[in-house]
Chains A and B, each alone.
Chain A
Amino acid sequence: GEDVEQSLFLSVREGDSSVINCTYTDSSSTYLYWYKQEPGAGLQLLTYIFSNMDMKQDQRLTVLLNKKDKHLSLRIADTQTGDSAIYFCAEKGNQGGKLIFGQGTELSVKP
């Protein structure tokens, strides 16, 4: 079945780069997403990548996709304290367009 896995925690120092990793199982996924959730709030789409791409860059965010290994990563350059949040990786499933979410990676940025 469809499954998305992420590590649960990541701690970095302000100014460093953060890399959040994700693996998925559905090779037919057409889109893969990164969402950010701040405490007590809903989810905010950060970026997405189409499955025929291997990289997408948007300001401080870089998404890398290794379709062969079914591995997705999100790199945040010059991480700030405001980046502290939970980051969810998601894939678009093949049933009714539902998104399948990973468990979320809690990013902690220390000053």
Chain B
Amino acid sequence: GAVVSQHPSRVICKSGTSVKIECRSLDFQATTMFWYRQFPKKSLMLMATSNEGSKATYEQGVEKDKFLINHASLTLSTLTVTSAHPEDSSFYICSAPDRKNTGELFFGEGSRLTVL
């Protein structure tokens, strides 16, 4: 099946710094990618929909200036957590939809962010 890869898988940063997470579709093109955040023992919260060549669509309550999303090519979307704080520590997962209309999402491995 299709493969989505995320990098880095783990990152630790100091409070106030910015962190970029990359999401790549390895063997298919993705005009749309979804970014989710997962808290411990909790479900996935959709943060935003990344659209190639245009602005991302953010879910209600998600700060656009805090979580910058760029989808510059058909195989790469990036999420930048700006001026990170300890409360931003979480597991961030990206996904890309199947080109067939089943709605299946292929998920990256996830990125564990820890802000000290």
The answer on a CB contact under 8 Å between B104 and A42 is no
A40 CA to B10 CA, complexed, in Å = 10
The answer on a CB contact under 8 Å between B104 and A98 is no
Among B57, B93, B103, contact of A31 (Cβ-Cβ < 8 Å): B103
Among A43, A92, A98, A106, contact of B93 (Cβ-Cβ < 8 Å): A43
Interchain pairs with CB closer than 8 A, number: 53
The answer on a CB contact under 8 Å between A99 and B105 is yes
A92 CA to B103 CA, complexed, in Å = 7
Which residues of A lie under 8 Å from residue B67 when comparing CB positions? none
The answer on a CB contact under 8 Å between A99 and B93 is no
Which residues of A lie under 8 Å from residue B88 when comparing CB positions? none
A106 CA to B110 CA, complexed, in Å = 18
Binding site for B on A (CB under 8 A): 30-31, 33, 35, 40-45, 48, 88, 92, 96-99, 101-104, 106
The answer on a CB contact under 8 Å between A42 and B49 is no
The answer on a CB contact under 8 Å between A104 and B104 is no
Report the count of interface residues on B (CB-CB < 8 A): 24
Binding site for A on B (CB under 8 A): 4, 6, 32, 34, 41-44, 46, 49, 57, 93, 95, 97, 102-110, 112
Interface centre among B32, B43, B109, B112 (most CB of A within 10 A): B43
Which residues of A lie under 8 Å from residue B102 when comparing CB positions? 31, 48
In the complex, what's the smallest C-beta–C-beta distance from A24 to chain B, in angstroms?
A: 13
Which residues of A lie under 8 Å from residue B41 when comparing CB positions? 104, 106
Among A33, A96, A101, contact of B104 (Cβ-Cβ < 8 Å): A33
